[in-house]
Amino acid sequence: MNNQDRDLPLILLVDDEPDLLTGLQRSFVKRLPDAKVVTASGGKEALDIIEQQEIALVLMDIMMGDTNGLEVLDSINRMKPDLTVIMMTGYGTIELAVDAIRRGAWDFVTKPLELDLLTRMLTKGLERSRLLNENKNLRSRIDSETVMPDFIGQSPAMQQLYKTIQTSADSEYTVLIRGASGTGKEICARAIHSLSKRAKKPFIMVNCPAIPEHLLESELFGYRKGAFTGADRDHAGLFIQANEGTICLDEIGDIPVSVQIKLLRVLQEQELKQLGAETSTKIDVRIIASTNADLESKIREGIFREDLFYRLAVLTLRMPFLQEIAEDVPLLADHFLKKVQRELGVSDKSFSQAALETLFSHNWPGNIRELQNVIRRAVLFCNDSIIDVQHLMIESPLSVSDPVLNQNQNQDAPIIPYKDAKDSCLDTFTRQYVHTLLTKSNGNVSQAARLSHLTRAALQKIMRRYDIDGNQFRQ
């Protein structure tokens, strides 16, 4: 095996019919040039191959003479629970195929096999395996190098964010985290604290807009007994509670100017004076601030102090919009799916390919928080094991002008099988999207990849799959 073959994902075909194995292997060599196909004539041989080699996808018959494919499936799940397995079944054993799905198979296909449909299914199965493997590798790398359990993503923007978080954590400088609502600013602040030398000390999160303006100063800096009417005891304040640790001031742009002045002194002098106190108190607190506001505009309007801005923004992190890290959506969706299932105590569910396409294509104005809420609703209202487009309750990216949809809307036309209709819609969507993309980029694949937030390799793979030549779009 040369180096190029060694890098290709492996598909394992398992069946007790030698002619079928030979025919499928020859077909997939031509139809799936980006994968390598190996075969096994029974369950024991298949399990030996899976144990010894890194298999990306298994296509296996349910009925193989004396071998029960479902028992082999159970063994595969014990060995490698994330392995993508597609079961083949005759029309008379659909119930067994449904049972296979419940027992961990990703999908099933009926005999006699339709090669076009099977090729599309294998292509999607390989993509699933790739995403799961990349996510696993990323998580392993992050866990070994950092402590950021709540971050999911492998896009260039997220990789850069991880490096910036680590660099920020290694210093004692103040940090300003900027980003739209729902992009994970609080998670970022907690990660910086967790990776810093203050990790074992307090972390205090302050939602500044949630505290009434007339109480904010006393909550932050504290007061002494008798400082004002109702002050019947000393109150340490959040800064003193965070001493030797970290305090994060969320939505810093909303605090009043009077509090900004006192905060500036804390930053400059590392001390504060509580209401009613005669002397100042020295503190050792690292300050992280976050905001989705345009602080520069607030400075021009005179409602945010410029000197405070530069004190806070020694290090600045910008949280990416979810649209900017669209390639991470499947990983995030899978992460939230598992998390919600644990919260609700429900059995395993998975996304249909159409649902993943919808999640990938949505513009996500509410960013990661919106995605998480969509997954919560989908799990709650989906009574099946497969979460489909209708469970997401968001607009589908599929064009209503798709000929398959139009045919099904015509009462005189025969009803197209669901799988065929779904695959046709997805194919139409992908072709239209790539054609539009290459038209806008004048056939420049690198520019098209940047526009679509795909890697050049991923876009080229899609183009090969649909036989699209970029040179056709050059003017």
Q: How does residue 424 score in pLDDT terms, banded at 50, 70 and 90?
A: low
Model confidence over 160-169: pLDDT tens digits?
999 899 999 9
pLDDT of residue 405: 46
Region 399-403: mean pLDDT is: 42
Phi/psi of residue 41, nearest 5 degrees: -95, 5
> Does 416 or 43 have the greater pLDDT score?
43
Give the CATH fold of the 152-320 domain.
Answer: Rossmann fold (3.40.50)
User: Which two three-digit tokens encode residue 93?
Assistant: 């054993």
| CATH class of the 3-139 domain in this structure | alpha beta
Helix and strand tally (H, E) in the chain?
A: 21, 16
Q: Which sequence spans correspond to the domains of the chain?
A: 3-139, 152-320, 323-397, 398-475
pLDDT of residue 249: 96
> Does 418 or 393 have the greater pLDDT score?
393
Model confidence over 106-135: pLDDT tens digits?
888 888 888 998 999 999 989 888 887 776
Element (H, E) at 23: helix 18-31
Would the CATH topology of 152-320 be identical to that of 323-397?
no
Q: What is the mean pLDDT of the chain?
A: 84
User: Which two three-digit tokens encode residue 330?
Assistant: 């499947």
pLDDT of residue 453: 81
3-state class of 123 per DSSP?
helix
Helix residue ranges, H only, 84-184: 94-102, 115-145, 156-169
pLDDT of residue 402: 46
Kindly tell me the sign of the dihedral angle through the C-alpha atoms of 242, 248, 251, 257: positive
φ/ψ region of 115 (left if φ > 0, alpha if ψ in -120 to 50, else beta) reads alpha
**Proportion of the chain above pLDDT 70, given as a percent:** 87
The β-bridge partners of 275 are: 223
How far apart are the C-alpha atoms of 179 and 157, rounded to whole Å?
13
399 has a pLDDT exceeding 70: no
pLDDT of residue 313: 93
Q: How does residue 416 score in pLDDT terms, banded at 50, 70 and 90?
A: low
Q: How does residue 422 score in pLDDT terms, banded at 50, 70 and 90?
A: low
Q: Are strands 175-178 and 107-111 parallel, antiparallel or unpaired?
A: unpaired
Cβ atoms within 10 Å of 164's Cβ, excluding its own? 17
Region 392-409: mean pLDDT is: 50
463 has a pLDDT exceeding 70: yes
Query: CA 117, 445, 465: angle at the middle one, nearest 5?
Result: 10
Residue with the two structure tokens 């449909």: 117
Q: How does residue 434 score in pLDDT terms, banded at 50, 70 and 90?
A: confident
> Does 412 or 316 have the greater pLDDT score?
316
How far apart are the C-alpha atoms of 124 and 310, rounded to whole Å?
49
pLDDT of residue 314: 94
Model confidence over 181-233: pLDDT tens digits?
889 999 999 999 999 999 999 999 999 988 888 889 889 998 888 878 777 88
2 has a pLDDT exceeding 70: no
Kindly tell me the sign of the dihedral angle through the C-alpha atoms of 94, 46, 128, 404: negative
- Tell me, what DSSP letter sits at residue 346? P
User: Which two three-digit tokens encode residue 355?
Assistant: 């649902």
Region 380-401: mean pLDDT is: 72
How far apart are the C-alpha atoms of 425 and 84, rounded to whole Å?
23
pLDDT of residue 408: 44
Cβ atoms within 10 Å of 388's Cβ, excluding its own? 17
3-state class of 122 per DSSP?
helix
pLDDT of residue 146: 47
User: Which two three-digit tokens encode residue 252?
Assistant: 């810093």
**Cβ-count burial of 246 within 10 angstroms (0-12 exposed, 13-18 middle, 19+ buried)?**
buried
User: Which two three-digit tokens encode residue 35?
Assistant: 């994968």
Region 16-21: mean pLDDT is: 89
Region 374-384: mean pLDDT is: 89
Give the CATH fold of the 323-397 domain.
Answer: Helicase, Ruva Protein; domain 3 (1.10.8)
> Does 333 or 424 have the greater pLDDT score?
333
Kindly tell me the sign of the dihedral angle through the C-alpha atoms of 294, 298, 304, 308: positive
> Does 347 or 374 have the greater pLDDT score?
374
Q: Which of 76-90, 127-141, 306-320 is least confident?
A: 127-141
pLDDT of residue 245: 95
396 has a pLDDT exceeding 70: no
The β-bridge partners of 40 are: 14
**Proportion of the chain above pLDDT 90, given as a percent:** 35
pLDDT of residue 397: 40
pLDDT of residue 141: 52
252 has a pLDDT exceeding 90: yes
pLDDT of residue 145: 45
Q: How does residue 348 score in pLDDT terms, banded at 50, 70 and 90?
A: confident
In sequence order, what E strands does 225-306 have? 246-250, 271-272, 281-282, 286-291
pLDDT of residue 398: 39
